Structure 1
Amino acid sequence: MGQGTLLQKIGQLVGVGAIAGVLVAALALPAVGGLGITARNVATGFLNMPGELETPPPPQRSVIYDRNGETIAEIYDQNRELVELDDMAPVMQKAIIAIEDSHFYEHGGIDLVGTFRAALRTLSGSTQGGSSLTQQYVKNVLVESATSQAEQEEATETSISRKVRELRYAVALEQRVSKDEILEGYLNIAYFGDGAYGVESAAQHYFGVSADELKLEQAAALAGAVRYPYLYNLRLNPEDAKNRRNVVLDRMVETGEITEAEGKEAKAKDLELDVRTPSNGCMPSKQPYFCDYVVQEIEKSEKFGKNETERARWLRTAGLKIHTTLDVDMQEAAQKAVDKWVPRKNEARKVAAEVLVEPGSGEIRGMAQSRNYGPDESKLGETSINFTTDKNRGGSSGFQAGSTFKPFTLAAALDQGKKFSTSFSSGNSTTVTGQRNCDGGRLMPWPVKNAGDTKGGTSNNMITGTKGSVNTYFAQLQKSVGLCNVIKMAEKLGVHRADGESFDNPRTQANNSFTLGSEEVSPLTMANAYATFASGGVYCKPQAITKIEDQQSGKTIEIEKDCERVIDEDVANGVSYLLQQTFKGGTTTGLEIGRPAAAKTGTTDGSAAAWFAGYTPNLAGSVFVGDPRGPQNYPLRNVTLGDRTYGVVYGATIPGPIWQETMRGATEDLPKEKFPPAPKKYGSKSEDSSDDDGPGTTATSNTADDGGVPNVLGQRENAAVRALEDAGFEVNVSDTRIRSSHPEDTVAAVNPDPGTSLPQGATVNVFLSNGAGSDRATTVPEGRAWPPGTGPVMAPAMGREGT
């Protein structure tokens, strides 16, 4: 029996005490003077050293999944995927043992021959060779578990004390766990070069196979790389790696693991690499901005760790399985639409951003914008800012939302019991005085004008004011309701500034024009607020993550929905009814999606930014288009996007078609649901007149009162409008006055004529008298031409609504 074999037997039979004695001899033999005394002192304390080594799972990559379980992104500090020993090819196990520790299953944690040799080299300033697989595993565990620079240095220092510490841990570990467990741990923690940690990731990276599929020559190549991963990097140094592989094969022949013929056959083969590196982070993802939002949710939320640094490390090392709410089909529909209408590398540097949210759950189904994801803001079409969300989630400080804020005023008015027929004289300009902020301070007089081609007429109610997005109407409605009450209603719906400031902050104190969308918000905020209307008044906090499986701890974190009723169901349904009317001759006409929908356009002052927000009963979405450099300084005027040039961009010009195309695709597999009927307490006797094809279609049953169109001839405008609406009709008051025997400003004619039976919700055109007089009652006989501009209401071209 040779000396080496004898020492191994001694190590197995006489236990720790004998090993300590041999260690003393091994370390002391070459020592002289003070160094010998140091070595003896270290060895003397060997048995008194703590031997319990914590062996937590090593860092591994985390994976973000969409709602169908498909991978969105992988995030990691180390590319590692843990697998069990049974999922590693036996030939891989044999190869690593043959080249690194051929007596692995014989010794008790220390290869005494190798240790003696290593001790000599350590004293001369080298740590090469000699370590058993158990010792190597211990060293890797100490390195990976180090949480400070000092611990890192201690785990890698060139010293006898470090070697002794590793030996003590190795001996204790062998007494506590099985050889197979140590081998499994080692193959999962070892570094194989080129960013591949653990045998599973190495097999996937170099050969495109799982660890249980490795062939002999592949396993030998990986085993050879462990000793010097940089020198034997299979991708960067293939010749050195191949030579090293052949050394492993020769060693496997020597140990009897393979035959000489098998070794010769394997050595004749090339490396035959199929290098694959998993994407790391959000940049390579097809859904980068949603991925970034998920990362921000984890890193910024205290429920996932004490501080942001700890949470970031947890995300990148714990091997998390993060299950999210993203619907890849809806996401694709949104991304396709924003890219079509606002190309990513447009010279005008405009951006489109869109969010889709499920009503009743708050789950984010899509998050898209027309930019490539990347850190270089100077590159055309590239940004790392997520314009769909708030600043504290990787977004911007927000953008003014324009008339998409007007529904919050409607909700506040309905909440106070006001009816759809609430009317105000609302010409093209007015001045509102006496408004107060939430601190009770009186605000300056507010001159308001209607914008673009908006026509307020002489009077409007909630229905006509909403359809026409009449600024002068909403300014007066806000005053009637109270500015502070409108602000509080918006806050109930989850509306907040994207920069984190509150509406009543002295620096950002909400002003007169709150109802016209003067506050900077994110598309996610607006989509979720509209989703609250769609859900019948139930607000749900936006949710991107449903579950996180922590493979390190073995725990699963379920993310519960955070929902509560914030407004009365009738209020929500009333707003939905009003926003459906915009498709019937209003600002969203022509943007129907083939199913019931409610929506509102928004354009800020001077066309600085344009918005569109809308929903079906089961999906809400909002779209923003503007310039990240500053919408006021770079407005949407004389803009070329792709092959289209726009003199002025309104909410219905680009955001509207983006929303329309997105929703048509995103709702394709959703059931066609109808909205609840308009609550009768708000004064309308009609129910939702839309059929399965959505707003814009006319029902063929459920006519109005048996008397048909009421006879309102000779009545004042407000009284006539109220009577017609109470009968279940929508009213359009023409701007053109006609000759009539009726007094000026009273109703001269209606079309259809009084008594005509019409469907619920049909439009009745009203014409006022110019007071010029006539010797007979004025009518417009069937078949005769209408005066210019006074014919039946036709769907107008998509144009600008109120600011």
Structure 2
Amino acid sequence: MLQRISQLVVIGAIAGLLVAALALPAVGGLGITARNVASNFLNMPGNLETPPPPQRSTIYDSEGGVIAEIFDQNRELVDIEDVSPVMIDAILAIEDAHFYEHGGIDVAGTFRAAIRTMNGNTQGASSITQQYVKNVQIEAATSQEELDEAREETIARKIRELRYAVALEQRMSKDKILEGYLNIAYFSDGAYGVESAAQHFFQVPASDLELHQAATIAGLVRYPYLYNPRFNPEQTIDRRNVVLDRMVATGAITEAEAAEAKKEPMELDLSTPPNGCVPSDQPFFCDYVVQEIEKDERFGPSETERARWLRTAGLQIHTTLDPQTQESAQAAVDKWVPRKNESRKVGAELVIQPGTGHILGMAQSRNYGPDESKLGETSINFTTDADRGGSNGFQAGSTFKAFTLAAALNEGLPYSTSFNSPSSVSISGQRSCNGGTLSTWSPSNAGDTNSSTTHNMVSGTKASSNTYFAQLQERVGICDVMKMAEKLGLKRADGTLFTENPNTLANSSFTLGSEEVSPLRVANAYATFASGGIYCEPQAITKIKDQQSGTTIDIEPECSRVLDEEVAKGVSYLLTQPFNGGTAANIHIGRPAAGKTGTTDGSAAAWFAGFTPQMAAAVFVGDPRGPQQYPLRGVTIGDDYYGVVYGATIPGPIWGETMKGAHEGLEVKQLPSPPAQFGSTSAPRPPKPESDADPASDEGGVPNVVGLSEGAAVSALEAAGYTVNVSGTRIRSAEPEGTVAAVNPDPGTRLPDGATVNVFLSRGGGTADGRGNDEDWFPAQPASTPTVREEE
């Protein structure tokens, strides 16, 4: 009965207002008459939506640690039960003392506001319900037109607010309206909502506010800019005292309590939560997460709407970042490539989980900031592609040889696939993916050796022989190697596929890593080997909880098989060879590992990519100003001088130290054994001593005459039905001087009768293990003995 009477009173008050409005003339210059507004009142919609106001979104690591908070408005929602009673008394006393008595409209105040507004003197005096309505409409505006309409100082807006206020009071409790108001109101100095205001000004939750603090905050809401405590402390204190007097008038406190509170100094302890990625301890990963949300259409129809959603919906964004891995990666990168090194070189590393695509670590030797000219600062994420805030990539060197191995094994070639691998070879007739014939290519091995060594997949990978892999690429077909890389998720950092980019298609040296890629793509391709051929899209986000809508988006790994499991195991075995006395012999992590060094032509950039069963990572070191113009030669990085930087010089140790720290506490898992289908894992058969040689015992094809004297070799080859040509140029070799160093075609090659076999004699000077062909055997030389040599 009382509620019905209250509603009748409200209706009567509205009727009185409307009668008064009907009697008023048109409002000059506003384009609307009070008569029109009033006559349409009862036909106006009253179903105002009241969604939660904008609030902070938080990005978490995989263990729940906060990476960053991102927001347009510093707001944290709070239940009314968690607001100090004295805060509620203060806000009611100064803003709407009869809130719990009226039906949504402060009648006297509304009449007064209407009359003064029409006379050109804007007047508020709205009830808390009306203020809440106004704020809801402002926050709900999605265009400047809607925002202007919500803020306009007109009778039309006042009437709309009245209509919504009446409807709101009929469907929401007083406590819920007050709770909504306390959460949506702006309290000055960037603090939205009472909880954020309490924490911002006094470093306490709203539940712990004391009388003088509550009165201060309550006084701000009427004119947040005028009473800003940071800039206008005297006005703020005066306003606080007005609030205290109003609280006495309403009976909320005594005069003695007010007097005591007025003696309290302001004692502000201003604190705003860091906003965005710049202040984060993991800024580049934070930026990557932001890019993922803003660029992914599943999170909204447009990038603008997705950006707004991120900054207003109070999202709880759970990510894949592993704190232990991230800390280990960042420490290793900072140690070997200090952020403010005068050479301006950068180190970047990406760690990813095989079988899920989860990004576990993302580190680089730069502070996050917009001023690229400032030493040690950048906003470019060198670990990822250009469309996710990264660069256009860097040539990855011999890390690409793994993709040639994968293509070769996928086509059924055995480990024993051998080629004579001299210091340089000439490759002609390669066919591009677009059908064109590539120019003749003459790659050379690293080093100043002219030795000739026969390599198969095992020894060629261990030695990282450029001339071996050039011939293996020719055997497989360069287009098949490119397609294999793409199956493993590789593409250029500028977003183009290798098989579609004209520059790539015209380039013969794909196997030597001549393409600009990101560590993210290389690491994820290596993770595909580690997972047994299962490719997963790189993933940074696992779950997003939208606090506004109450919905949760679970993001599962997107994985599929792209490579036969036996092929993946076969490549994994081959990539253990660099650790087994090869180019990565100086890198030890205390558990089975596979990987590959990479040094680009002229030491422009250096890489290391590798994996264990649990993690894969890729490390890049180079100069973002232009690796070719600023190569890794004769450089001082931190306190250390390097004559030349190779893949095993800096990237390898970064990778090793990261893996050691990241794997601490993890089970030691074994890498797969070499699949039997690819045959023997032995290095090419060493030549027999001349006295034991029996070329006739070779099962067809060119006899293996390496190591024999010239006469014995010629006799054996002619007996096999071939024409023999002994080259007049002797080559450097581990074979004794004057004996056969190599033949072309290779031993075992089947040729028609009478075909010519070229014989090359040794001039000595080589090494038994063929290290003269290695790209990365030699560590950086000390300053006293700088070494410069050709690189791939």
Quick check: TM above 0.5? yes
Deviation at 1:391, TM superposition (A): 0.6
Q: Give CA-to-partner distance per residue, 1:364-407, whole Å, 9 cap, x none.
A: 00111111111111212111111110011111111111100000
Q: Secondary structure at the match of 1:227?
A: coil
- The aligned residue for residue 661 of structure 2 is 665
**Residues 325 and 712 of structure 1: is their aligned pair in 2 closer, same or farther, counting only changes over 3 Å?**
same
Instruction: Tell me if 1:284 matches 2:265.
Output: no
Deviations 1:649-677 (A, max 9, x none): 11111111111111111111221111011
Give unpaired runs (5+ residues) of structure 1.
Answer: 1-7, 687-703, 724-732, 747-765, 774-786
Q: State how far apart, in whole Å, the 1-side matches of 2:517 and 2:250 are.
A: 70
Separation of aligned partners in 1, 2:27 and 2:613: 84
- How far the C-alpha of 1:437 sits from its partner, in A, is 0.8
Bigger drift between 422-431 and 325-334 goes to 325-334
Q: Would you say the 8 A contact 1:744–1:770 is kept in 2?
A: no
Corresponding residue to 2:350 among 334, 341, 355: 355
C-alpha distance 224-9 of structure 1, shift in aligned 2 (>3 A): farther
Distance 1:33 1:338, change over 3 A: closer
Q: Does 1:595 align with 2:576?
A: no
Alignment partner for residue 17 of structure 1, among 2, 8, 11? 11
Q: CA deviation at 1:41?
A: 3.7
Residue 798 of structure 1: how far off its partner (Å): 3.3
AA aligned opposite 1:423? S
What pairs up with 1:251-266 in 2 under 5 angstroms?
A: 251-266=246-261
Contact 2:479 2:499 in 1 (8 A): no
Q: Deviations over 1:95-123 (max 9, x none)?
A: 11111000000000101111122122212
Q: Is this contact kept in 2: 1:601–1:801, CA < 8 A?
A: no
Q: Would the alpha carbon gap of residues 176 and 437 (structure 1) be closer, same or farther in structure 2, given more than 3 Å must change? A: same
Decide which of 244, 256, 269 is 1:274's aligned counterpart.
269
Match of 2:465 among 466, 470, 474: 470
Alignment of 1:21-40 (within 5 A): 21-27=15-21, 31=24, 38-40=33-35
Q: Are the equivalent residues in 2 in contact too, given 1:588–1:798 (CA < 8 A)?
A: no
What is the aligned partner in structure 1 of residue 426 from structure 2?
431
Residue 309 of structure 2 corresponds to 314
Which residue of structure 1 aligns with residue 40 of structure 2?
Answer: 45
Q: Equivalents in 1 of 2:361, 2:290: separation in Å? A: 16
User: Residue in 2 aligned with 1:302?
Assistant: 297
Larger relative contact order (C-alpha < 8 A, sep ≥ 6)?
Answer: 2
Q: Which is worse superposed, 787-796 or 203-212?
A: 787-796
Contact 1:636 1:648 in 2 (8 A): yes
Q: Does 1:543 align with 2:539?
A: yes
Tell me, in whole angstroms, the C-alpha distance in 2 between the residues paired with 1:289 and 1:377.
15
Q: Is the 8 A contact 2:734 2:765 kept in 1?
A: no
AA of the residue aligned to 1:56: P
Distance 1:740 1:182, change over 3 A: same
Q: Structure 2 matches for 1:455-534, cutoff 5 A?
A: 457-510=452-505, 511-534=507-530
Relative to structure 1, the CA distance from residue 432 to residue 549 in structure 2 (aligned partners, 3 Å threshold; closer, same or farther) is same
Which one-letter code corresponds to 2:574 in the other structure? L
Task: Report the Cα distance in structure 2 between the residues aligned to 1:801 and 1:605, rounded to whole angstroms.
Answer: 8
In structure 2, the residue corresponding to 1:299 is in which secondary structure? helix
For residues 622-641 of structure 1, the aligned pairs below 5 Å read 622-641=618-637
Q: 1:237 to 1:745 in 2, by over 3 A?
A: farther
Aligned to 1:373: 368
User: What is the CA distance between 1:551 and its match in structure 2?
Assistant: 0.8
Partners of 1:397 and 1:288 lie apart in 2 by 20
Distance 2:504 2:156 in 1: 65
Note the C-alpha offset of 1:571: 0.9
CA distance in 2: counterparts of 1:129 and 1:81, whole angstroms: 26
Give the corresponding residue for 1:421.
416
Report % sequence identity. Answer: 65
Evaluate the alpha carbon distance shift between residue 9 and residue 564 of structure 1 in structure 2; reply closer, same or farther with a 3 A threshold: closer
Q: CA RMSD in A?
A: 3.1
SS of the residue aligned with 2:459?
helix
What amino acid is aligned across from residue 485 of structure 1 in structure 2?
D
SS class of match (1:446): coil
- Whole-angstrom CA distance in 1 between matches of 2:83 and 2:791: 67
SS for the counterpart of 1:614 is: strand
Counterpart of 1:218 in structure 2 is: 213
Cα distance between partner residues in 2 of 1:455 and 1:39: 98
The count of corresponding residues between Structure 1 and Structure 2 is 730
Residue 205 (structure 1) aligned with residue 200 (structure 2)? yes
Deviation string for 1:30-60 (max 9, x for gaps)?
x468779933442233222221111111111
Instruction: Spell out the pairing of 1:87-486 with structure 2 (5 A cutoff).
Output: 87-452=82-447, 457-486=452-481
Distance 1:116-1:34 versus aligned 2 partners, 3 A rule: closer
8 Å contact 1:11–1:18 — kept in the other structure?
Answer: no
Which residue of structure 1 lines up, in the alignment, with residue 720 of structure 2? none
CA distance in 1, matches of 2:691, 2:205: 83
Cα 1:644/1:354, change in 2 over 3 Å: same
- Distance, in Å, in 1 between the alignment partners of 2:314 and 2:380 is 26
Q: Which residue in 2 is equivalent to 1:756?
A: none
Which residue pairs with 1:582 in the alignment? 578
Q: Would the aligned equivalents of 2:458 and 2:681 in 1 still touch at CA under 8 Å?
A: no
Q: Separation in 1 of the partners of 2:593 and 2:458? A: 16
User: Are the equivalent residues in 2 in contact too, given 1:738–1:768 (CA < 8 A)?
Assistant: no
CA distance in 1, matches of 2:655, 2:73: 40
What is the one-letter code of the residue matched to 1:53?
L
Three-state SS of the structure 1 residue aligned to 2:361 is strand
TM-aligned CA deviation for residue 338 of structure 1? 1.2
User: How far did residue 768 of structure 1 move?
Assistant: 3.8
Contact 2:25 2:34 in 1 (8 A): no
State the 1:745 CA deviation. 13
Q: State the Cα distance separating 1:213 from its structure 2 match.
A: 1.8
Once residues 517 and 132 of structure 2 are traced to their aligned partners in structure 1, the CA distance between those partners, rounded to angstroms, is 53
Q: Does 1:568 align with 2:564?
A: yes
AA of the residue aligned to 1:798:
P
The answer to whether the 8 A contact 2:299-2:306 is kept is yes
Give the letter for the 1:404 counterpart: T
Structure 2 counterpart of 1:655: 651
Who is 1:614 aligned against?
Answer: 610
Moved more, 12-21 or 322-331: 12-21
Letter in 2 for 1:537: G
- Counterpart Cα distance in 2 of 1:360 and 1:140: 48
Match of 2:783 in 1: none
Instruction: Mark the CA change 1:32 to 1:480 in structure 2 (over 3 Å): closer, same or farther.
Output: closer
Distance (Å, rounded) in 2 between the aligned partners of 1:10 and 1:434: 94
- Hey, what's the Cα distance between the residues in 2 that align with 1:167 and 1:290? 48
Matched residues in 2 for 1:716 and 1:20: separation?
Answer: 116
1:578/1:250 CA distance change after superposition, 3 Å: same
* Contact 2:530 2:568 survives alignment (8 Å): yes
CA drift of 1:11 comes to 8.7
Is the contact made by 2:735 and 2:766 (CA closer than 8 Å) also made in structure 1?
no
* Structure-2-length-normalised TM-score: 0.87
Q: C-alpha offsets along residues 531-573 of structure 1, whole Å, 9 cap, x if unaligned? A: 1111111111100000000111111001111011111111111
Q: Flag structure 2 segments of 5+ consecutive residues without an equivalent.
A: 717-732, 741-763, 781-788
| Structure 1 counterpart of 2:379, one-letter code | S
**Cα contact 2:67–2:282 (8 A) shared by 1:** yes
CA distance in structure 2 between the aligned counterparts of 1:569 and 1:401, rounded to whole angstroms: 25
The whole-number CA distance in structure 2 between the counterparts of 1:74 and 1:719 is: 74
Q: Which amino acid aligns with 1:82?
A: L
Candidates 638, 641, 658, aligned match of 1:642: 638
SS, match of residue 576 in structure 2: helix
Does the C-alpha gap of structure 1 residues 127 and 432 become closer, same or farther in structure 2, counting only changes over 3 Å? same
Cα distance in structure 1, aligned partners of 2:206 and 2:399: 55
SS at match of 1:478: helix
